[in-house]
Amino acid sequence: MLRSDFHFDLPPELIAQHPTAARDGARLLVVDARTGSCSHRTIRDLPGLIPAGSLCVPNDVRVRHARLFLRRSGGGAGEALLLRSLGSGAFEAMVKPGARLKPGASAAVVDPDTGLELARIEVLETRPEGLRAVRVHADHGLDWDEIDRIGRLPLPPYIDHLANGEDETRYQTVFAAREGEAVAAPTAGLHFTPNLIEALKAHGCGWHPVRLHVGLGTFRPMTAEHLEDHAMHEERFEVPEATAAALESALRERSRPVLCIGTTSLRTLEGAWDGTALAREGTTRLFITPGYRLRTADHLLTNFHLPESTLFVLVSALLGPAGAQAAYGEAIRERYRFFSYGDAMLILNVRSNPSP
C-alpha cells in the first residue's frame, strides 16, 4: 500500500493548541470495528462503554525535558532533541542544523527566554538514520534529572508555542512514573484523572501499566512511498511483573477483555506477547499495518492522528482503511479536536480483523 492511501484533509483550526479545561472533558468518538457504527460521547462515559472487568493497560512513561536550545560557537542557533541515554552523560539525539553540528562540534545549551548558558553539548559521532551521539556537560549531574533541569518539554511541531506552565502539567499523565525517557506523551493517557481511574476500578476494571519509551518509532513521519519500505525506529519497552501476572492468563484464555490506553500500549503488548507469556523488557520496531492480526487487545482508546502517519496506518489496520477514513471524516464533520491535546476515539472489538 502507498503512503498517500492514508492521506486525509484536516482543517488547520481543528488542531488543538491547548488542552481542554478539564482532563476528562474531551469528546469521545466511539467506533465498533465489527459493525462500523459510531456514536458521540465524552471521556467521562468510558467506564460504561467497555465491558465490566476489562483490563486497562496504560503507558506510564514520563516525558522528559528533552528539547535543548543551542547557541553554536559562531553565534547561530540550534537544537537537540535527546532520544535516549547512552550512559556517562552521552545521549542519542536529533540535532539541527545537522550540517553544522557534526562530530567534534560543540555548543552552549541556553535558556530560550533569557539566553543564559546552562550547560555545554559536544557532538561525538554520527549514528544511523542521521542521528548523533552527543555528550552533555552540566553542573549537577549527567542523567535525565539534570536534563529535566536545563531542557524544555518537547511539544509536537504542530503546537505553536514553547512549553509553558500549563504544558508542564497537562503534557504529562497523572499516573506517569518517576522513570522513563519519553520524548512525546502517550496522549490517550492525558485524558485520565484519579476520579476516572477510580470509576473504572469501581466498574471491576483492572489498571495494569506498561512502559514504552516513546521515541522516533512513534512519531517520525513516513517518507517512503510504499509502507513496506518504512523502517520503524527501535523503542524500548518494560512490562512490570504485576502487569504480566494480571494479563498473561487473560490473554491465554481470553477470559477478560483488554483495553489498551493508547497506541504505545498496544504496540508494547503486541511486541512483548509470544503467545504464552509477556516479555518483561525488550525493544520493538513493530509497524502495525492493514492485514496485521492483533493478538492481545480487544479495545483501543486513542487520540486522532496525523494524516500519512504510522499511527493513522495503525488505526486503518484496526478499522480497515475505508473504515478509518469514514471515522475520521465523521470526526472532522463534527469538529472534533485533533492530535495531542485533542479529543479521543474508542475503537471497540479491534480483533475483528477488517479487510485490508
* 3-63+179-352 CATH pick, 3.30.70.330, 3.30.420.40, 1.10.540.10, 3.40.1780.10: 3.40.1780.10
Q: Can you give the pLDDT at residue 352?
A: 63
Is-contact 334 23, C-beta < 8 A?
no
Q: Which helix (H) or strand (E) holds 120?
A: strand 117-126
Query: Cell numbers 503546537 correspond to what residue?
Result: 159
Domain residue limits, the chain: 3-63+179-352, 67-152
- Under DSSP, the state recorded for 169 is H
This prediction has a pTM of 0.95
Residue 281 backbone phi and psi in degrees, to 5: -160, 160
Rounded Cα distance, 148 and 305, in Å: 27
Helix (H, G, I), strand (E, B) or coil at 343: coil
Is-contact 51 257, C-beta < 8 A?
yes
Burial-class residue 116 by CB neighbours within 10 Å (0-12, 13-18, 19+).
exposed
DSSP string, 24-52: GG-EEEEEETTT--EEEEEGGGHHHHS-T
Rounded Cα distance, 308 and 286, in Å: 17
Q: Domain 67-152 in CATH: superfamily?
A: QueA-like (2.40.10.240)
What residues form DSSP beta bridges with 93? 82, 132
- Under DSSP, the state recorded for 64 is P
In the chain (356 residues long), the average pLDDT of successive 10-residue segments reads 97 98 97 96 98 98 97 94 92 94 96 95 93 90 87 96 96 94 96 98 98 92 95 95 97 96 98 97 97 96 98 97 98 98 98 60
- Helices 310-319 and 321-333 pack at an angle, to 10 degrees, of 110
